[in-house]
């Protein structure tokens, strides 16, 4: 728990410093979008989440070489970099070059059936490959192919679920924070360092996001969700727990094809209050 908390704080500080250093990079037209209220915002800023994770992973590697010691919490750092960068880059491609197809899985698969490959399809296929690579570090050795596919599905669907929540300012980061705290408390494992850094980076962007200046975009929400998927595998080593998580993620993704999460959240007072907390459009 201590290591996870320090990871979040470190990600918060480093992510904030990175954002201050590079924010002018995003002041170009390709990142310009309008949000749900028609206000101008900058999209794709969430790519700084994988950037922060990568920078800190590099620093930790240098420290490991200098001290000639292998820290006990580094099992998830490498996969975290791969997951964050992989999902972040596919998400950024969707943010900047989205072909206009919508409708979730049905929309993208429908376009594919008509012979059109959308950026969403590329993200679906590429994300699946990234999930297979990153989850391999945490696959239960006695389960073979079925276990590997299950764990990859957890990472990939967690990434997509986080993206489903990214419909209002700060919502994905808030949900991710709650999920991460629950996992850290449950597992008491030091292996959540990589995902913790990613969450800290997301928190560093939260003030600007709540003021409707920026959006995490798919680049940020997909990366953050994938990191939480990895954290889930690390925190829940038991097969039954992983199957249960996969079932929940499948239900959420299927339901999202027919029901708006925003509608459900707005209909439940405690959820509506938490969702609007800190937002500039809270009226």
For the segment 188-233, what is each residue's pLDDT rounded down to a tens digit?
A: 667 789 999 999 999 999 999 999 999 999 999 999 999 999 999 9
Residue 126, CA distances (Å) to 34, 131, 252 in order: 27, 9, 21
3-state secondary structure the chain: CHHHHHHHHHHHHHHHHHHHHHHHHHCCHHHEEECCCCCEEECCHHHHHHHHHHHHHHHHHHHHHHHCCCCCCHHHHHHHHHHHHHHHHHHHHHHHHCCCCCCHHHHHHHHHHCCCCCHHHHHHHHHHHHHHHHHHHHCCCCCHHHHHHHHHHHHHHHHHHHHHHCCCCCHHHHHHHHHHHHHHHHHCCHHHHHHHHHHHHHHHHHHHHHCCCECCHHHHHHHHHHHHHHHHHHHCCCHHHHHHHHHHHHHHHHHHCCCCHHHHHHHCHHHHHHHHCCCCCCC
pLDDT mean over 165-183: 95
Among 108-112, 236-240, 272-276, the least confident range: 108-112
Question: What pairs with residue 41 in β-bridges?
Answer: 33
Choose among 6, 4, 14, 1: nearest CA to 205: 14
pLDDT mean over 64-93: 84
Domain extent listing, the chain: 2-276
As a whole-number percent, the residues of the chain with pLDDT over 90 amount to 62
Band of the pLDDT at 74, cuts 50, 70, 90?
Answer: low
Among 186-200, 234-248, 264-278, the least confident range: 186-200
Among 38-42, 79-83, 117-121, 242-246, the least confident range: 117-121
Among 44-58, 115-129, 206-220, the least confident range: 115-129
Is pLDDT of 256 > 60?
yes
Global pTM exceeds 0.95: no
pLDDT mean over 256-269: 92
């Amino acid at each position: 728990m201590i290591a996870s908390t320090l990871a979040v704080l470190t990600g918060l500080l480093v992510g904030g410093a990175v954002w201050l250093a590079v924010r002018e990079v995003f002041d170009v037209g390709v990142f310009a979008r309008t949000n749900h209220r028609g206000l101008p915002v900058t999209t794709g800023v969430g790519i700084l989440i994988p950037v922060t994770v990568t920078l800190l992973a590099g620093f930790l590697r240098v420290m490991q070489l200098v001290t000639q010691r292998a820290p006990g919490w580094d099992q998830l750092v490498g996969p975290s970099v791969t997951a964050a960068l992989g999902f972040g880059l596919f998400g950024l491609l969707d943010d900047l070059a989205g072909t206009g197809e919508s409708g979730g899985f049905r929309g993208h698969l429908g376009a594919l059936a008509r012979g059109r490959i959308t950026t969403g399809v590329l993200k679906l296929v590429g994300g699946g490959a990234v999930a297979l690579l990153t989850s391999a570090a945490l696959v239960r050795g006695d389960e073979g192919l079925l276990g590997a596919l299950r764990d990859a599905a957890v990472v990939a669907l967690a990434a997509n679920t986080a993206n489903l929540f990214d419909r209002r300012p700060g919502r994905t980061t808030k949900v991710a924070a709650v999920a991460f705290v629950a996992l850290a408390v449950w597992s008491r494992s030091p292996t959540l360092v990589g995902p913790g850094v990613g969450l800290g980076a997301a928190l560093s962007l939260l003030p600007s996001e709540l003021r409707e200046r920026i959006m995490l975009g798919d680049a940020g929400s997909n990366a953050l969700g994938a990191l939480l998927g990895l954290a889930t595998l690390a925190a829940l080593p038991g097969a039954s727990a992983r199957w249960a998580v996969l079932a929940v993620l499948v239900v959420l993704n299927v339901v999202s094809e027919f029901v708006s999460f925003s509608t459900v959240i707005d209909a439940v007072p405690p959820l509506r209050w938490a969702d609007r907390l800190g937002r500039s459009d809270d009226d």
